[in-house]
Chain A
Amino acid sequence: MASSDVVQYRSPARRVLEVLTVLFLAVYLIWTMLPIFVMFVSSFKDLLEAFKLPRVGDWSGIGVFFDFNPTFQHYIDLFDDNNFSTYLMNSIIASLGSALISVVFGSMAAYSLSRIEFRGKKDLFFWIISTRMAPVVAVMVPLYAIFRGAGLVGTLPGLILAYTTFNLPFAIWILKGFFDNVPYAIEEAAMCDGCNRFQAFQSILPLVAPGIGAFLVLCVLFAWNDFLFASIIGSGGAKTLPVATKELVQPQNIQWGKIMAAGVVTTLPMMFLGLLIRRYLVTGLTMGAVRE
């Protein structure tokens, strides 16, 4: 039932509106893509060329943006000189690790919460999601103190655990909804056929698998893009791509081309992932409040 299906009648007023609409869309499209586009193009610009600008007011000079010798050097340097291969690995391990832990334990908890009923369940549930809502900065203060004491600062396991703070409640919250949609009758049928409880659970896994897969990816997305946790708790031994990219910004002699290249390396994988789970984005980003 899309409101776009409702019939529309052409009129002179409508035609004007249509032209304005196209213009507006075009402007927004350019405005949206500009930073991403600049990031990509600048990553191929050598140091000085990244600073080239036409004179103020010289609109025809916009071509200057494209006037450069493309170079892959920044990308090479990132991995050779700046240890980006390590940081890339760190990012992957930290995001994937926390995503896996969150989804494994989260789906178990989500399944239980879906099937069980007890007093205070609603409160428990709210407590679970409230941990997800806490401001990162606020959570960081005690976490830092605790992790420091436990010697987890600057370690990948520490970072993984820190990411689990927001990925685990998120997983439980969203996955419960998926399990809610699978009728218990299916498991009962499986148990009638002779399965034990756990095998029955396994029998419904294929039904929720796509959802679980999508939210695994979402967990990776959130963890990968995080900066605060990584910079405070991961600092030192567990530096991730976002942190490393920021650190490229030195007070002197800023290599903008290199920074943009680092930005590309950090962002590109996430763009692909985003396309992959396009269907689940709204549900994931609104924490299940809106169902696509």
Chain B
Amino acid sequence: MASTTADDAGSGRLAGATVTMRSGAKNIAYQPATLNPTPSKRYYLYLMLPAIIILAAISIYPFLWLIYMSLHKVDIGGAGDVWNNFKNWSRLARDSKFQDGWWLLIKYSAMCMLLEVGLGVLLAVILNNSRFEKMLVTIFLMPMMMAPVIAGLVWYYLYNGTFGWYHWLLQSAGILGETSILGDTSTAMIGIVIVDVWQWTPLIILIVLAGLKRVPRDQLEANMVDGAGPFRNFLQISLPNLYPFLLIAILLRFMDNFRFIDAVLVLTGGGPANSTKILPTYLFDVSFQFFKLGRGAAIALTLLVVTIILGLILVRLFDSPAGKAGQTSAEN
């Protein structure tokens, strides 16, 4: 059956190409590629190229190197790498410091995270109802601006058993004895946790504050009319609305605790007696103190895998209501 121009007009065809709108297209910027069939893709690809190349050089290449190194006894002296026959990996299973490292890392992250979220939520709720919110938040932000290594140094100074003010305070209050908090294996972990909590609670405050401001006001009011007091209201309405934010905060801090050891290095270096030798710190020792790069690579790979998994979960959360109203990233 021959198609006539009338047919074409009736069926809504546009110059031979059917125009379709993607249903549910969330990315308003997306539309061009189908509506404007002019040569476009190549242009964009070229634009992306430099960045992609750099990234590939910085991530894929090192990643491959990591795998390579984990399978060799790496000699940085230049004498050549020796194939290790998976020895680096099998050693890990017997390496108590490796296992301790993971256990301590989880313990460390969990403690930090619990305290930070607990304090953070409490403070965010208080600040949200305060007249001085803006001013106080700005002050509370300051610890985050410090380099973690510097924070570590300052707290090291404060913790010192001889001349540290913090130690003096705790000792005078009867909480501590003479040994500094970092010098005692039973308290060292708490010591480094406090530093992390000091520095990063403000981030949790910021995140929870952003979440509190998104809680729909009329639901709160409806619940008030229904008979809820302010505390009940928070639990029933505000808190459920905060879950995506809290989840993001928790994951983020977990990941950051895996990644950054600046402060720990300066505060305890992993001691005393390896009581704070969290895995990344152990990795640092193996790679850059003992220079066993092969072993280090194997450890690094395990750390990488876990962090990536956490990252995957975090990215899922980008689609949550937390990032709405002008969603930034993963709405592809």
Contact = CB atoms under 8 A, between A and B. Distances in A.
Direct contact of A and B (CB under 8 A): yes
B323 A290 contact: yes
Given A1-B215, A36-B142, A109 B287 contact: no
Contact of B149 (A25, A114, A242): A242
A59 B172 contact: yes
B147 A225 contact: yes
Interface stretch (A73-81, A82-90, A141-149): A141-149
B106 interface: no
Contact of A1 (B202, B214, B245): B214
A129 B171 contact: no
Given A137-B303, A188-B36, A109 B52 contact: yes
B27 to A, nearest CB: 6
Contact of A122 (B29, B33, B233, B332): B332
A148 B210 contact: no
Contacts of B94: none
Contact of A129 (B211, B311, B322): B311
B193 to A, nearest CB: 14
A105 B203 CA distance: 28
A288 B331 CA distance: 12
A77 B34 CA distance: 64
Nearest to A230: B149
Interface in A23-37: 24-25, 28-29, 31-36
Interface in B25-65: 27-33, 36, 40-41, 43-45, 47-48, 50-52, 54-55, 58-59, 61-63, 65
A281 to B, nearest CB: 7
A3 B51 contact: no
Interface in B298-316: 299-301, 303-304, 307-308, 310-312, 314-315
A79 B300 CA distance: 38
Contacts, number: 369
A174 interface: yes
A116 B172 contact: no
B332 A278 contact: no
A213 interface: no
User: Chain A contact residues: over half helix, strand or loop, or mixed?
Assistant: helix
User: Chain B contact residues: over half helix, strand or loop, or mixed?
Assistant: helix
Given A3-B213, A32-B143, A180-B27, A291 B150 contact: no
Contact of A125 (B74, B266, B330): B330
A271 interface: yes
Nearest to A50: B163
Given A177-B329, A183-B29, A256-B157, A105 B51 contact: yes
Given A31-B198, A282-B210, A291-B327, A146 B217 contact: no
A109 B54 CA distance: 11
A112 B45 contact: yes
B48 A112 contact: yes
A106 B52 CA distance: 9
A24 B148 CA distance: 26
Interface stretch (B9-17, B108-116, B251-259): B251-259
B62 A53 contact: no
B76 A25 contact: no
Interface string A155-198: 00000010011001100111011111111100010000000010
Q: Looking at A36, A56, A115, which has the most chain B CB atoms within 10 Å of its CB? A: A115
A239 to B, nearest CB: 13
Interface in A6-64: 6-8, 21, 24-25, 28-29, 31-36, 38-39, 42, 50-54, 56-59
Contact of B139 (A32, A142, A188): A32
B172 A57 contact: yes
Given A1-B217, A135-B259, A114 B29 contact: yes
A116 B76 contact: no
B227 to A, nearest CB: 14
Contacts of B190: none
A86 to B, nearest CB: 18
B172 A138 contact: no
A137 B261 contact: yes
Interface string B148-183: 111101110110001101101001100000000000
A191 B51 CA distance: 26
Contact of A29 (B31, B139, B146, B214): B139
Contacts of A128: 55
A115 B154 contact: no
Contacts of A228: 261-262, 284
A54 B168 contact: yes
Given A1-B215, A137-B280, A180-B328, 6 more contacts: A3-B212, A28-B140, A108-B50, A135-B307, A142-B300, A225-B147
5 contacts: A56-B171, A121-B332, A136-B260, A148-B76, A282-B207
- 8 closest A-B pairs by beta carbon, nearest first, are A177-B328, A109-B51, A138-B300, A225-B147, A288-B328, A142-B62, A142-B65, A112-B44
Interface of A: 1-8, 21, 24-25, 28-29, 31-36, 38-39, 42, 50-54, 56-59, 65, 105-106, 108-109, 111-118, 121-122, 125-131, 133-146, 148, 161, 164-165, 168-169, 172-174, 176-184, 188, 197, 221, 224-228, 232, 241-242, 245-246, 249, 256, 259-260, 263, 266-267, 270-271, 273-275, 278, 281-283, 285-292
